[in-house]
Amino acid sequence: MTLRQAQGRPLRVAMIGYGFMGAAHSVGWRQAPHVFDLPDDVEMAVLVGRHPQAVADAAAHWGWAESATDWREVIARDDIDIVDIVTPGDAHAEIAIAALDAGKHVLCEKPLANTVAEAEAMADAASRARERGIRSMVGFTYRRAPAVTLLRDLIAQGRIGRVQQVRAAYRQDWLVDPAVPLGWRLQKEHAGSGALGDIGAHIVDMTQFVTGQHVRSVSGTVETIVARRPLQASGSGLAGTAAEGYGDVTVDDAALFTARLDDGALVSFEATRFATGRKNALTIEVSGDRGALAWDLERLNELQFYDRTAPEAVQGFATILVTEPVHPYVAAWWPAGHMLGYEHGFTHQVVDLVTAIHDGADPRPSFADGLTVQRVLAAVEESAAAGSAWTAVARGDDEDAGQVRQPVPAHA
């Protein structure tokens, strides 16, 4: 038991960054203590950002007790236990390593970093901190959609047999209009990569999570469809008023790649911001020799299950409505048939992190998990640069011995 636990003191959270993900994470921190029976109390202590008035307004709007503009001063405070990082990717490594070295538990948004070298440094810092009881987690929240967790559990139980093929796609269309201004997500120095890292990271992690296997080799191509965009007015958001002039887009708009898993199963991946008419279409389908499972974020409470061992007369994809109390995470919410939404994954993320901290356990996905995804992204870029040549995904001594198939969470 830690001194904080012995004193009955709540876990006090500092969140660094306050954009779109800041809003989503704030919902998670606010909802979790009121819906779930958390083992420790949680307090939304301080929100950190660069612009004093903007961050103060965001803190008041989302329910943070105070705001600040210097993240270094905040992580040095004795009254802060958890640092939640929702900044652009170019700041992840510096903040996360400093926070871990300062003895703070860390939650970091995905992708873990902008480069493999940064991700390796973060995983090393997490490993050092673990020896002192300090926990870290990367925010692949789609793992915590109840239907995705159930999909993983059914594969682990052998319900579809040996995995033979996976098809995973994340399609959006918010960049189809060439007049969309040049925001930070379109600049490599800030974002690391484009659709590949921003949304492709999700489908790589989800594939590894649900199959319990690593991506071992890739063959891919990336494309920048609109190469120059209007400059943003200073201080405006991604869709802010354009300033005079144009700037270069230095990341990909679309990435298409195939891959092989540990046991040789073939995977097709698509990550694009140019799928006209698709707003946030994340899908995954896993085919095995005894059946198949499919999930669609736009129907996130449903899981499609095909049982090839059923009598031929009744074979076909069946829809499982994942809203029963026996399903992962669902018991704390509404009566059966009442739907959950996008924001609930962020609440479940808080529950799992706080529970792991209380239990002295390592939460998943770990920084090591985030590093495995970063290595896949780097291999895709290497493959694309070499004319889509098959490229091995780098492995390291720090890599987990396979993705551990965890049981359904105890709070389910």
The sheet carrying 105-109 orders its strands as: 66-68, 42-48, 11-16, 82-85, 105-109, 136-139
Rounded distance, CA 370 to CA 333, Å? 29
Q: Return the bridge partners of 14, or none.
A: 46, 83
Residue 8 has pLDDT above 80, yes or no: no
Q: What are phi and psi of 301, to 5 degrees?
A: -90, 0
State the pLDDT confidence band at 1, using cuts at 50, 70 and 90.
low
Residue 369: alpha-carbon gap to chain centroid: 11
Q: Return the bridge partners of 139, or none.
A: 109
User: What is the structure's pLDDT at 410?
Assistant: 39
Rounded distance, CA 98 to CA 261, Å? 34
Q: What are phi and psi of 346, to 5 degrees?
A: -75, -30
Residue positions counted in the chain: 412
Q: What is the mean pLDDT of the chain?
A: 93
Integer-rounded Cα Rg, in Å, for the chain is 21
102-137 CB burial, b ≥16 within 10 A, e <16: bebbbbbbbbbbbbbebbbbbbbbbeebeeeebbbb
Q: In the predicted model, what is the mean pLDDT of residues 1-23?
A: 84
Say which amino acid occupies 34.
H
Contact 166, 284 (CB under 8 A): yes
Q: Alpha helix (H) ranges present in 165-269?
A: 188-191, 195-198, 200-211
How many CA within 13 A on the CB side of residue 292?
16
State the pLDDT confidence band at 239, using cuts at 50, 70 and 90.
very low
User: What is the structure's pLDDT at 83?
Assistant: 98
State the pLDDT confidence band at 396, using cuts at 50, 70 and 90.
confident
Q: Return the bridge partners of 1, or none.
A: none
Say which amino acid occupies 219.
S
CB atoms within 10 A of CB 258: 15
Least confident of 11-25, 68-82, 228-242, 259-273: 228-242
User: What is the structure's pLDDT at 4?
Assistant: 60
pLDDT one-digit tens code per residue, 323-366: 999 999 999 999 999 999 999 999 999 999 999 999 999 999 99
Rounded distance, CA 251 to CA 229, Å? 12
Domains and CATH numbers, the chain: 3-142 (3.40.50.720), 144-392 (3.30.360.10)
Task: Provide the total of helices (H) and of strands (E) in the chain, helices listed first.
Answer: 12, 17
Q: In the predicted model, what is the mean pLDDT of residues 110-133?
A: 98
Residue 223 has pLDDT above 60, yes or no: yes
Helix (H, G, I), strand (E, B) or coil at 263: coil
Element (H, E) at 301: none
Helix (H, G, I), strand (E, B) or coil at 16: strand
